[in-house]
Chains A and B, each alone.
Chain A
Protein backbone atom coordinates (compact mmCIF):
# COMPACT_ATOMS: atom_id res chain seq x y z
CA UNK A 1 0.00 0.00 0.00
CA UNK A 2 0.92 3.59 -0.50
CA UNK A 3 2.98 5.47 2.05
CA UNK A 4 3.07 8.73 0.13
CA UNK A 5 -0.04 10.62 1.22
CA UNK A 6 0.61 13.80 -0.73
CA UNK A 7 -1.81 15.01 -3.38
CA UNK A 8 -0.62 18.05 -5.31
CA UNK A 9 -3.63 20.14 -6.30
CA UNK A 10 -3.20 22.70 -9.05
CA UNK A 11 -6.23 24.95 -8.94
CA UNK A 12 -6.33 28.71 -9.48
CA UNK A 13 -9.85 29.39 -8.27
CA UNK A 14 -9.75 30.08 -4.51
CA UNK A 15 -13.40 29.15 -3.99
CA UNK A 16 -13.00 25.82 -5.82
CA UNK A 17 -9.77 25.11 -3.94
CA UNK A 18 -11.52 25.77 -0.64
CA UNK A 19 -14.41 23.46 -1.58
CA UNK A 20 -12.03 20.69 -2.62
CA UNK A 21 -9.96 21.07 0.55
CA UNK A 22 -13.14 20.99 2.64
CA UNK A 23 -14.42 17.89 0.84
CA UNK A 24 -11.20 16.01 1.65
CA UNK A 25 -11.30 17.32 5.25
CA UNK A 26 -14.94 16.44 5.78
CA UNK A 27 -14.46 12.94 4.42
CA UNK A 28 -11.71 12.58 7.06
CA UNK A 29 -9.30 11.14 4.54
CA UNK A 30 -5.73 10.43 5.45
CA UNK A 31 -4.08 12.61 2.81
CA UNK A 32 -1.96 15.74 2.65
CA UNK A 33 -3.12 18.29 0.13
CA UNK A 34 -0.69 20.89 -1.20
CA UNK A 35 -2.06 23.54 -3.52
CA UNK A 36 -0.48 25.50 -6.34
CA UNK A 37 -2.30 28.13 -8.34
CA UNK A 38 -0.78 28.08 -11.82
CA UNK A 39 0.78 25.82 -14.43
CA UNK A 40 4.26 27.32 -14.27
CA UNK A 41 4.45 26.67 -10.54
CA UNK A 42 3.32 23.07 -11.09
CA UNK A 43 6.16 22.53 -13.59
CA UNK A 44 8.70 24.21 -11.27
CA UNK A 45 7.52 22.14 -8.29
CA UNK A 46 7.57 18.80 -10.14
CA UNK A 47 10.88 19.61 -11.83
CA UNK A 48 12.42 20.58 -8.49
CA UNK A 49 13.29 24.10 -9.67
CA UNK A 50 13.54 27.11 -7.33
CA UNK A 51 11.75 27.95 -5.13
CA UNK A 52 10.76 24.27 -4.98
CA UNK A 53 14.27 22.78 -5.19
CA UNK A 54 14.26 21.24 -1.72
CA UNK A 55 12.62 17.81 -2.08
CA UNK A 56 12.40 17.42 1.69
CA UNK A 57 10.07 20.40 1.76
CA UNK A 58 8.46 19.83 -1.64
CA UNK A 59 8.25 16.07 -2.18
CA UNK A 60 6.93 14.42 -5.32
CA UNK A 61 3.23 13.72 -4.73
CA UNK A 62 1.49 10.36 -5.05
CA UNK A 63 -1.01 11.89 -7.45
CA UNK A 64 -1.28 15.18 -9.32
CA UNK A 65 -4.80 16.61 -9.27
CA UNK A 66 -4.88 19.11 -12.07
CA UNK A 67 -7.34 21.73 -13.26
CA UNK A 68 -7.29 22.52 -17.00
CA UNK A 69 -7.90 26.27 -17.11
CA UNK A 70 -4.92 27.70 -15.28
CA UNK A 71 -2.96 30.93 -15.53
CA UNK A 72 0.36 30.95 -17.45
CA UNK A 73 0.41 27.28 -18.45
CA UNK A 74 -2.75 25.21 -18.84
CA UNK A 75 -3.28 21.88 -17.15
CA UNK A 76 -2.97 20.13 -20.49
CA UNK A 77 0.39 21.85 -21.08
CA UNK A 78 1.56 20.70 -17.64
CA UNK A 79 0.44 17.15 -18.48
CA UNK A 80 2.22 17.24 -21.82
CA UNK A 81 5.41 18.56 -20.20
CA UNK A 82 5.26 15.82 -17.56
CA UNK A 83 4.77 12.94 -20.01
CA UNK A 84 7.73 14.17 -22.07
CA UNK A 85 10.22 14.02 -19.21
CA UNK A 86 13.01 11.50 -19.70
CA UNK A 87 13.03 10.08 -16.23
CA UNK A 88 10.70 8.34 -13.80
CA UNK A 89 8.72 11.50 -13.07
CA UNK A 90 6.91 11.06 -16.41
CA UNK A 91 4.90 8.18 -14.91
CA UNK A 92 3.34 10.25 -12.14
CA UNK A 93 -0.41 9.50 -12.00
CA UNK A 94 -2.36 12.55 -13.14
CA UNK A 95 -6.06 13.06 -12.58
CA UNK A 96 -7.73 16.03 -14.22
CA UNK A 97 -10.36 17.75 -12.05
CA UNK A 98 -12.14 20.44 -13.99
CA UNK A 99 -15.50 21.98 -14.68
CA UNK A 100 -15.15 21.27 -18.40
CA UNK A 101 -16.97 18.25 -19.76
CA UNK A 102 -16.24 19.29 -23.35
CA UNK A 103 -15.24 16.24 -25.31
CA UNK A 104 -12.42 18.22 -26.95
CA UNK A 105 -10.80 18.69 -23.51
CA UNK A 106 -11.55 15.13 -22.37
CA UNK A 107 -10.15 13.57 -25.55
CA UNK A 108 -7.08 15.80 -25.58
CA UNK A 109 -6.32 14.86 -21.97
CA UNK A 110 -6.47 11.14 -22.78
CA UNK A 111 -4.37 11.67 -25.90
CA UNK A 112 -1.73 13.36 -23.75
CA UNK A 113 -1.70 10.43 -21.32
CA UNK A 114 -3.91 11.42 -18.42
CA UNK A 115 -4.71 8.58 -16.02
CA UNK A 116 -8.25 9.73 -15.36
CA UNK A 117 -10.54 12.70 -15.97
CA UNK A 118 -13.03 13.91 -13.37
CA UNK A 119 -15.63 16.65 -13.70
CA UNK A 120 -16.17 18.92 -10.71
CA UNK A 121 -19.59 18.14 -9.26
CA UNK A 122 -22.07 20.92 -8.52
CA UNK A 123 -22.97 20.02 -4.96
CA UNK A 124 -20.68 19.77 -1.97
CA UNK A 125 -22.18 16.36 -1.10
CA UNK A 126 -21.15 15.05 -4.53
CA UNK A 127 -17.72 16.63 -4.15
CA UNK A 128 -17.26 14.82 -0.85
CA UNK A 129 -18.22 11.53 -2.49
CA UNK A 130 -15.74 12.28 -5.26
CA UNK A 131 -13.03 12.89 -2.66
CA UNK A 132 -13.80 9.56 -1.00
CA UNK A 133 -13.84 7.60 -4.23
CA UNK A 134 -10.67 9.34 -5.43
CA UNK A 135 -8.98 8.45 -2.14
CA UNK A 136 -10.04 4.82 -2.06
CA UNK A 137 -8.98 4.34 -5.68
CA UNK A 138 -5.69 6.23 -6.04
CA UNK A 139 -4.44 6.25 -2.45
CA UNK A 140 -5.53 2.77 -1.40
CA UNK A 141 -6.27 0.41 -4.28
CA UNK A 142 -3.93 1.53 -7.04
CA UNK A 143 -0.27 0.48 -7.19
CA UNK A 144 1.64 3.61 -8.05
CA UNK A 145 4.79 3.66 -10.15
CA UNK A 146 8.21 4.63 -8.89
CA UNK A 147 8.60 8.30 -9.79
CA UNK A 148 11.75 9.13 -7.86
CA UNK A 149 14.60 7.92 -10.05
Chain B
Protein backbone atom coordinates (compact mmCIF):
# COMPACT_ATOMS: atom_id res chain seq x y z
CA UNK B 1 0.00 0.00 0.00
CA UNK B 2 1.76 3.10 -1.16
CA UNK B 3 -1.06 5.60 -0.79
CA UNK B 4 -1.66 5.44 2.92
CA UNK B 5 -1.48 8.73 4.76
CA UNK B 6 1.74 9.11 6.68
CA UNK B 7 4.27 11.73 7.62
CA UNK B 8 5.84 12.96 4.41
CA UNK B 9 9.41 11.84 3.93
CA UNK B 10 12.44 14.02 4.44
CA UNK B 11 14.13 15.80 1.56
CA UNK B 12 17.89 16.17 1.84
CA UNK B 13 19.00 19.41 0.21
CA UNK B 14 22.76 19.60 -0.26
CA UNK B 15 23.53 23.14 -1.38
CA UNK B 16 26.20 25.56 -0.22
CA UNK B 17 24.95 28.77 -1.83
CA UNK B 18 22.81 30.73 0.68
CA UNK B 19 21.01 32.69 -2.06
CA UNK B 20 19.98 29.56 -3.98
CA UNK B 21 18.95 27.88 -0.73
CA UNK B 22 16.68 30.77 0.24
CA UNK B 23 15.05 30.75 -3.20
CA UNK B 24 14.50 27.01 -3.07
CA UNK B 25 13.02 27.18 0.42
CA UNK B 26 10.61 29.82 -0.83
CA UNK B 27 9.84 27.55 -3.79
CA UNK B 28 9.02 24.65 -1.44
CA UNK B 29 6.75 26.90 0.60
CA UNK B 30 4.94 28.25 -2.45
CA UNK B 31 4.47 24.75 -3.85
CA UNK B 32 2.97 23.68 -0.54
CA UNK B 33 5.57 20.97 0.07
CA UNK B 34 5.00 19.53 3.53
CA UNK B 35 8.05 17.29 3.54
CA UNK B 36 10.62 18.28 6.14
CA UNK B 37 13.79 19.61 4.51
CA UNK B 38 17.20 18.87 5.93
CA UNK B 39 19.66 21.34 4.52
CA UNK B 40 23.39 20.63 4.47
CA UNK B 41 26.05 22.93 3.05
CA UNK B 42 29.17 20.74 3.09
CA UNK B 43 29.93 17.59 1.09
CA UNK B 44 31.53 15.72 3.99
CA UNK B 45 28.55 16.52 6.22
CA UNK B 46 26.14 15.25 3.56
CA UNK B 47 28.02 11.96 3.59
CA UNK B 48 27.93 11.83 7.40
CA UNK B 49 24.18 12.50 7.31
CA UNK B 50 23.51 9.72 4.82
CA UNK B 51 25.79 7.33 6.69
CA UNK B 52 24.08 8.27 9.97
CA UNK B 53 27.32 9.00 11.81
CA UNK B 54 28.79 11.76 13.98
CA UNK B 55 26.25 14.48 14.76
CA UNK B 56 23.74 12.69 12.49
CA UNK B 57 23.73 9.37 14.32
CA UNK B 58 20.12 9.80 15.50
CA UNK B 59 17.91 8.59 12.63
CA UNK B 60 14.80 9.91 14.35
CA UNK B 61 16.15 13.44 14.21
CA UNK B 62 17.95 12.87 10.90
CA UNK B 63 15.86 10.35 8.92
CA UNK B 64 16.97 8.81 5.66
CA UNK B 65 15.63 11.03 2.87
CA UNK B 66 13.06 10.04 0.27
CA UNK B 67 14.74 12.40 -2.19
CA UNK B 68 18.23 13.89 -2.43
CA UNK B 69 18.65 17.26 -4.15
CA UNK B 70 22.33 17.63 -4.76
CA UNK B 71 24.51 20.51 -5.90
CA UNK B 72 27.76 19.40 -7.56
CA UNK B 73 30.22 22.06 -6.40
CA UNK B 74 30.47 21.79 -2.65
CA UNK B 75 33.08 22.37 0.01
CA UNK B 76 34.64 19.01 0.91
CA UNK B 77 33.40 16.04 -1.09
CA UNK B 78 31.82 16.94 -4.43
CA UNK B 79 28.29 16.01 -5.39
CA UNK B 80 29.58 13.37 -7.82
CA UNK B 81 31.73 11.76 -5.11
CA UNK B 82 28.72 11.63 -2.80
CA UNK B 83 26.56 10.08 -5.54
CA UNK B 84 29.10 7.39 -6.39
CA UNK B 85 29.39 6.48 -2.73
CA UNK B 86 25.60 6.40 -2.18
CA UNK B 87 25.17 3.97 -5.08
CA UNK B 88 27.53 1.49 -3.42
CA UNK B 89 25.65 1.49 -0.10
CA UNK B 90 23.10 -1.26 0.36
CA UNK B 91 20.77 0.86 2.51
CA UNK B 92 21.03 4.01 0.40
CA UNK B 93 21.64 3.01 -3.18
CA UNK B 94 17.98 3.21 -4.25
CA UNK B 95 17.28 6.72 -2.99
CA UNK B 96 16.32 8.95 -5.93
CA UNK B 97 18.96 11.66 -6.36
CA UNK B 98 18.42 14.75 -8.49
CA UNK B 99 21.41 16.92 -9.37
CA UNK B 100 20.69 20.66 -9.18
CA UNK B 101 23.46 22.79 -10.59
CA UNK B 102 24.47 25.69 -12.81
CA UNK B 103 26.91 23.43 -14.66
CA UNK B 104 25.67 22.70 -18.18
CA UNK B 105 28.83 21.04 -19.52
CA UNK B 106 27.80 17.86 -21.42
CA UNK B 107 30.75 15.99 -19.86
CA UNK B 108 29.53 16.84 -16.37
CA UNK B 109 25.96 15.85 -17.23
CA UNK B 110 27.21 12.50 -18.56
CA UNK B 111 29.42 11.98 -15.50
CA UNK B 112 26.46 12.64 -13.19
CA UNK B 113 24.36 9.95 -14.90
CA UNK B 114 27.33 7.59 -14.85
CA UNK B 115 27.67 8.25 -11.11
CA UNK B 116 24.02 7.24 -10.66
CA UNK B 117 21.98 10.44 -10.81
CA UNK B 118 18.28 9.82 -11.48
CA UNK B 119 17.93 13.23 -13.06
CA UNK B 120 19.95 16.37 -13.79
CA UNK B 121 18.41 19.83 -13.52
CA UNK B 122 19.83 23.25 -14.26
CA UNK B 123 19.14 25.89 -11.64
CA UNK B 124 17.08 28.63 -13.19
CA UNK B 125 18.62 32.07 -12.72
CA UNK B 126 15.48 33.79 -11.52
CA UNK B 127 13.05 33.41 -8.64
CA UNK B 128 10.06 32.56 -10.84
CA UNK B 129 12.01 29.81 -12.58
CA UNK B 130 13.09 28.27 -9.28
CA UNK B 131 9.54 28.25 -7.92
CA UNK B 132 8.31 26.56 -11.11
CA UNK B 133 11.12 24.01 -10.94
CA UNK B 134 10.36 23.12 -7.31
CA UNK B 135 6.71 22.80 -8.23
CA UNK B 136 7.54 20.30 -10.99
CA UNK B 137 9.93 18.42 -8.67
CA UNK B 138 7.11 18.10 -6.17
CA UNK B 139 4.60 16.90 -8.75
CA UNK B 140 7.00 14.42 -10.21
CA UNK B 141 9.12 13.02 -7.38
CA UNK B 142 6.84 13.50 -4.39
CA UNK B 143 3.49 12.67 -6.00
CA UNK B 144 3.85 10.68 -9.20
CA UNK B 145 6.99 8.60 -8.75
CA UNK B 146 6.79 5.29 -6.87
CA UNK B 147 9.55 5.46 -4.28
CA UNK B 148 11.77 2.50 -3.47
CA UNK B 149 11.70 0.82 -0.13
CA UNK B 150 14.71 2.01 1.78
CA UNK B 151 15.85 0.13 4.81
CA UNK B 152 14.69 -3.26 5.89
CA UNK B 153 15.68 -3.02 9.49
CA UNK B 154 14.04 -5.08 12.19
CA UNK B 155 11.68 -2.46 13.57
CA UNK B 156 8.71 -4.64 14.32
CA UNK B 157 7.04 -4.03 10.97
CA UNK B 158 5.47 -7.02 9.18
**A residues at B contact (CB < 8 Å):** 88, 91, 93, 101, 103, 106-107, 110-111, 113, 115-119, 130, 133-134, 136-137, 141-146
Contact = CB atoms under 8 A, between A and B. Distances in A.
The prevalent SS among residues of B at the interface is mixed
Given A91-B113, A91-B114, A142-B121, A101 B146 contact: yes
Contacts of A93: 119
A62 to B, nearest CB: 13
A132 to B, nearest CB: 9
B89 interface: no
A143 B109 contact: yes
A119 B149 CA distance: 15
A116 B121 CA distance: 15
Contacts of B88: none
Nearest to A142: B119
B101 to A, nearest CB: 9
B144 A111 contact: no
A39 B133 CA distance: 34
Contacts of B149: 103, 106-107
A141 B136 contact: yes
17 contacts: A91-B113, A107-B149, A110-B94, A113-B116, A116-B141, A116-B145, A117-B145, A118-B145, A118-B146, A133-B139, A133-B144, A136-B139, A137-B136, A137-B140, A141-B121, A143-B104, A143-B121
A113 B144 CA distance: 18
Contacts of B109: 143-146
A146 B110 CA distance: 6
